[in-house]
Amino acid sequence: MAENSEIKPERYVRPPSAESLGEAPGRGRLSGRRILIVGGGQRVFDALTDPIGNGRAMSILCAREGAKVAVADLNRSSAEQTVKRITDEGGEAFAIAADVTSEADVQRMVDDAHRALGGLDGMVLNIGTFGKVGLDAVSPEEWNRIYDVNVRGPMLCSRAALPKFDNGGAIVFISSIAALKAGSQMAVYDSSKAALGGLMRNIAHLGARRGIRANLVYPGLVDTPNGREAGAGRPSRGKGHVPFGRQATAWEIAYAVLFFLSDESVYVTAQTLAVDSGLSGM
């Protein structure tokens, strides 16, 4: 053996906690709350092996923590599957089918949620669709379509919901660390997710007089059906250096959202949180 040689230790992989696995009990952190999760269903990549997605995990966790939950999704069947998971656990939830690119659909969704829940004091905007890599492959029409979903949709939801919100409510935007780094190579997706930061800060400003808070979560690499679909097109996704040695679970994203919805963050607004094991900061 050569002098001064080193044996590098095995990489430590941060093991999942009970919260990471969705196995922790509810603690009443949203008791009495009425929350709309927009994008509470999930896509199917491989029905036999798909892990839980972000929106479904958020919906189930909010219900476990004591909230009544309205689960909205473009796909009614997927929203209903989320609702069934909640009601099977003894929670209270109902499904709404809505297209966030339709202003009429968004207004109906908010009205239905407000009526069925008996009020509204929380909303999560888990909205997003991917685009092609680069610029040349994306037509102006496709660019506009993706912005309609990823940016205009959350704007329409916020505009419709704010007048219905109780004082002291909370809105959480779901972006992506693609807004912070050009790692996805999808200029249309990355830039649309970056635009959510500016929208969120303006919603926080508009809501401040009524104590309505708005914050934003940047998920990193997450093992979800969406993440697996993205990885199928880019085999290198998730193969590089991830500080904790593994991708996140959807439950780990959901717990960050829970913090922003709960009274634990009652003095926090217009802020962002990257849930990425430090990937965007190191």
The dihedral formed by the CA atoms of 47, 50, 55 and 58, expressed in degrees to the nearest 10: 130
The catalytic residue among 193, 218, 239, 255 is 193
For this structure, is 12 an active site residue? Answer: no
For this structure, is 147 an active site residue? Answer: no
Run of H or E including 257: helix 250-261
The catalytic residue among 189, 218, 239, 255 is 189
The C-alpha atoms of residue 92 and residue 209 are separated, in whole angstroms, by 31
The single-letter code of the amino acid at 64 is R
| Helix intervals (H) in 40-163 | 54-64, 76-88, 103-117, 140-147, 153-161
Distance from CA of residue 271 to its chain's centroid? 15
**Contact criterion met (CB below 8 Å) for 69 and 91:** yes
Q: Among all chains, which residue has been given the structure tokens 């094991």? A: 277
Would you please indicate which residues are annotated as catalytic (active-site) residues?
189, 193
